[in-house]
Structure 1
Amino acid sequence: MGLDPGLRRLALGTLLAAYPGPVPPDWAVDLLAEGLAGHTLFGTNVHDPAQLAATTAALREGRADVLIAIDEEGGDVTRLAHATGSPYPGNAALGAIGDVALTRRVYEAIGAELAELGITVDLAPTVDVNTADENPVIGTRSFGADPLRVAAHSAAAVAGLQATGVAACAKHFPGHGATVTDSHHELPTVDVPVDVLRRRDLPPFAAVIAAGAQAVMTAHIRVPALTGAGPATFSREVLVDLLRTEYGFTGAVITDALEMKGASIAAGGVGPAAVRALAAGADLLCIGAKVDAELVEQVAAEIVEALGDGRLDRARVEQAAGRAATLAAWTRAATRVPTGGGTDLGYAAARRAVKIDGVLTDLVRPLVVQLHAASTIAEGRVPWGLGPHLADTEEVRVVAAETDPAALRHLAGDRPIVLVGRRLHQLPGGPELITALAAVHPVTVVEMGWPAQWRPAGVRAFVTTYGASHANGRAAAEALGLAG
């Protein structure tokens, strides 16, 4: 026996699906006509602006008020510019600059581009307070480690995005900044009293709620004082008691991807995770990136089954679907304020973020050495570094732990060395390689990851970009006098 059509449509109204490739398959469009709330676009869906505009138009053929979401944070997490790197610096650079008006203008520029392409929801900004230097998944996606600074920039980012008619989704509630593991791979724990969250992690969420953020995304993190053994995504204490009752949020609660291990393992699969998230108070369920028609139907069937066996109350699911519909209505009715600046604004902002400790002298035709660093799932494999911006400069790429310092010195000869990396203090073999080189050779370091306290001994200069976007790379090359 098939699913009750009315209940299936209700369940679909709470789901954000996805699909592979640059052209929406028939099933992805057909499901929209049958009630699916919308789709999240990833890098695999984006080839160029003309293609993407055609994609969003095709999705609207399924239903005019479809929600079309994307993770476009600027900086290290970009889908629009995944092939080249973002022309905007990310949050860490904007926080380091400290110009709240600039943050708003950058997010207005991002929002204007999204609106032009037909995208209605930006799964940004990241408003986590990055208090753990070793955080593997937030880092440069955060405006900083100070709650008040992060709050001010978060509110500005939301205002900038939403001025363009694109709904902002502030993430990841109740705060992913103090974690030292990645919720894509496991369930991180933040074992602190709720009062610590209120002082440290929650001020930015209060700020974005006051700024009118249309959506907030949940975190797949465990906070024992609130969530017990499970993630915040499955916790009514977090999503209802804290977010809605205490902080007064009335918009849509969107889950982080339910395929992530922090949720799917805790629930026993994506379908059960969807049921638990809805029961806890979530409204829109991001299924994930690897989605097909069969998975969407499985999740919808699990929700319908839960309505029948008592795990879910129909009024709760109707409320969730209603909030998703309200979000879609906002995106259709929103007034778009004309914006200016574009990518030139992004490159100018990245230049302002560069910090130089030491002296940049005698950098005539150096050997540039980029140290390989793995990307997180959130970032994806986006190009980074100084390479695209160098003129008449040799660059090599090496794995730090597999590289002999003597071999690099031999290759450099009498030229200075510029070492470029991300999260260098955490990179296997990185600190040892840099220290060995700096002891006997002129070395300048360019750190394009989160700016930890570590500084290597003996280097001539330590350059911090606060991110690894295309704009950050150009700014660093210019600061070193190496840009073409």
Structure 2
Amino acid sequence: MRTRGAIAVVAAQVLLYVGAAGCSTEAQMRSGSALVTHVSAVTQGDPEPTAPRARLGLAEGWGPTADELDEAATLVGDLTLTQLAGQVLVADWSGTRPPVEMVRDLHLGGVIWFSGNITSADQVRRANRALRRADDRPWPLLVGVDQEGGLVERAGGVVTGLPSFMTGGAARRPDLTRAATAATGRELRGLGFTANFAPVADVTVGAADPTIGTRAASSDPALVAEQVLAAARGYADAGLVSTLKHFPGHGSVREDSHVTLPVQPRSLAQLQGRDLVPFRDAVAAGSSSVMVGHLDVRAVDPGVPASLSRDVVTGLLRTDLGFDGLVVTDSLAMTAVTRSYGPARAAVRALRAGADVLLMPADPVVARNGIVAAVRRGDLTRRRLEQAAARQVALLMHHRDARGAPPGSARPQALAWSRAAVTVLSRTCQGRLVGRRVQPVGDRDVVAAFTAAARSAGLRVGPRGTRVALLRSASRSVRADVAVAVGAPWVLAGSSARHLVATYGTTPGAMRALVEVLLGRRPAPGRVPVEVADVPARGC
């Protein structure tokens, strides 16, 4: 216990410091605040000042250690207000030259790559090296990409492509899911990426779901939860930050948030029983990061995008589900946000809601300046900004020193995943399903991929062979002996083909697994993880 005399001395030091400096600079204000905090601790009889992580309300249990959280809190506490405002932004850019100046000038927390930024693996590797050297901050830059597999593969030209995430739901082999995502994560890590905005934790409703579809593992919440946890652990094995999306669930709405603000009409009880299950289980298992979607959740905060809603982010995700980790917004350049909110207002609203990383603001300069202005006028606290930045920095540092297998091709793991998922929905589950010659029909690119796999297996391709329809969409007019859903399995509904097969992807591995089943060389162990009308079986 300190004496009253010692307390008076420390208090006098605070008064002298504040009086002499006039709190005229941001650094002086921070130092003065630290002294006041220390005096408060002394007067209450605390033996030591509060730990940096506790000062920002940061808790363990989602990845970073206590030491990493303390270090991150200390580091961001030394940033200027404008640097802090930039640190919570992750921006996109145009062209193929790395946006080094943008990162340095705005002190961006990170950048996100798209296919238009990529020309080759060497170009990506060199660009990410340049981005890491953009400034001298002692923590990694968030260098992210959307590499889910299937329809969403922004780095598909430079890393091994995975089939859609529904492959995991069909295979029901979390060990294979973890192996596939770990292998892909190592490829991404080898190119200089530090984050992948995957996996999808949405529960699809099936054919009525226009946005998620096969990006989801299943329409069964428990199965989705199992696969999401396996995928997230695989990315973590590779030392990559992953992000579960799109909270509180995009798979059960009928509109696309890229073009409008979708309405989620379900009651809170309905959400808790279905859409929230994968997120709830992932949070309980210690998952590190969650992306919040732009959904009008009528049961929680009507008319407000979930990403900008304090009732959703702080109330539903953090308080009700107990999530202490990193919250990322979906792209703030999407119409669901931009039709009602400008870049500055959206950024401030997201931070006030409880988000930590603001992804793709429509204008990062305006967003950064809007955050600074909000803090200066008292609409947003510096503590909330430091808290957001510290979570991001701590998680990046946590993965920075990850050790694992060196980068290599993910092809073997992708093939094993597809082999476990390929599904025969008709009654013939054994033996050869095609003759010595096949005639594939459908999308030109898919036909080319199938043809390569068929010829590699010794199967002849040409007219007057067994007709194999490779379907991306439903088409009852296509006459075929074998109908293959290469994407969503519900396109097989109403097909008159003798044999019905689902592959959940068009990757070389998926096509090879298909050909092996058609030739009777391997079984089809998968089970379709969604409802498909008018089919005789869910799998063999």
Q: Name the structure 1 match of 2:467.
A: 417
Q: Name the structure 1 match of 2:123.
A: 51
SS state of the match for residue 27, structure 1? helix
CA shift for structure 1 position 415 = 4.5
CA shift for structure 1 position 482 = 12
Question: Residues 247 and 392 (structure 1 numbering): CA distance in 2 closer, same or farther, change over 3 Å?
Answer: closer
> Where does 1:387-466 land on structure 2 (aligned, <5 Å)?
387-391=448-452, 414-422=464-472, 424-425=473-474, 430-431=475-476, 433-434=477-478, 438=479, 442-452=480-490, 455-466=493-504
CA shift for structure 1 position 176 = 1.0
Aligned match for 1:278, one of 327, 351, 367: 351
CA shift for structure 1 position 337 = 5.8
Aligned match for 2:375, one of 302, 307, 323: 307
CA shift for structure 1 position 209 = 2.0
Residues 448 and 464, structure 1, Cα contact 8 Å, conserved in 2: yes
CA shift for structure 1 position 466 = 1.9
Q: Encode CA deviations 1:5-43: one digit per residue, 9 max, x unaligned.
A: 933212101100122233203423423xx5210111111
Indicate yes or no: 2:231 matched with 1:157: yes
Q: Name the structure 2 match of 1:69.
A: 144
CA shift for structure 1 position 123 = 0.7
CA distance in 2, matches of 1:209, 1:340: 30
CA shift for structure 1 position 163 = 1.6
CA shift for structure 1 position 82 = 4.0
CA distance in 2, matches of 1:448, 1:482: 19
CA distance in 2, matches of 1:102, 1:165: 18
CA distance in 2, matches of 1:20, 1:452: 37
Indicate yes or no: 2:393 matched with 1:325: yes
The amino acid across from 1:42 in the alignment is: F
Indicate yes or no: 2:274 matched with 1:200: yes
Question: Residues 7 and 386 (structure 1 numbering): CA distance in 2 closer, same or farther, change over 3 Å?
Answer: same
Q: Name the structure 2 match of 1:263.
A: 337
CA distance in 2, matches of 1:62, 1:80: 22
Indicate yes or no: 2:422 matched with 1:350: no
SS state of the match for residue 390, structure 1? helix
Question: Residues 364 and 310 (structure 1 numbering): CA distance in 2 closer, same or farther, change over 3 Å?
Answer: farther
SS state of the match for residue 216, structure 1? strand
Q: Name the structure 1 match of 2:81.
A: 7
CA distance in 1, matches of 2:205, 2:496: 28
Query: Which ranges in structure 2 are unaligned for 5 or more consecutive residues?
Result: 1-25, 27-78, 456-461, 522-540
Q: Select between 89-98 and 445-454 the one with higher mean Cα deviation.
A: 445-454
CA shift for structure 1 position 341 = 7.7
Question: Residues 416 and 270 (structure 1 numbering): CA distance in 2 closer, same or farther, change over 3 Å?
Answer: farther
CA distance in 2, matches of 1:27, 1:416: 58
Residues 69 and 121, structure 1, Cα contact 8 Å, conserved in 2: yes
Question: Residues 61 and 418 (structure 1 numbering): CA distance in 2 closer, same or farther, change over 3 Å?
Answer: same
* Percent identical: 34
Report 1 or 2 for greater relative contact order, CA contacts < 8 Å, sequence distance ≥ 6: 1
The amino acid across from 2:449 in the alignment is: P
Residues 132 and 179, structure 1, Cα contact 8 Å, conserved in 2: no
Q: Select between 42-51 and 112-121 the one with higher mean Cα deviation.
A: 42-51
CA distance in 1, matches of 2:340, 2:264: 16
SS state of the match for residue 345, structure 2? helix
CA shift for structure 1 position 190 = 1.4
Question: Residues 237 and 417 (structure 1 numbering): CA distance in 2 closer, same or farther, change over 3 Å?
Answer: same
CA shift for structure 1 position 368 = 2.2
Q: Select between 220-229 and 471-480 the one with higher mean Cα deviation.
A: 471-480
Q: Encode CA deviations 1:97-123: one digit per residue, 9 max, x unaligned.
A: 101111111111111112222211111
Query: Which ranges in structure 1 are unaligned for 5 or more consecutive residues?
Result: 373-383, 395-411
TM-score, normalization: structure 1? 0.81
Residues 140 and 467, structure 1, Cα contact 8 Å, conserved in 2: no
Q: Name the structure 1 match of 2:289.
A: 215
Indicate yes or no: 2:115 matched with 1:40: no
CA distance in 1, matches of 2:297, 2:266: 7
Q: Select between 87-96 and 278-287 the one with higher mean Cα deviation.
A: 87-96
CA shift for structure 1 position 146 = 0.8
The amino acid across from 2:123 in the alignment is: Q
Residues 181 and 235, structure 2, Cα contact 8 Å, conserved in 1: yes
CA distance in 2, matches of 1:370, 1:273: 43
CA shift for structure 1 position 454 = 5.0
Q: Name the structure 2 match of 1:28.
A: 102
- What's the Cα RMSD here? 2.8
CA shift for structure 1 position 52 = 1.6
Q: Select between 355-364 and 320-329 the one with higher mean Cα deviation.
A: 355-364
CA shift for structure 1 position 392 = 10
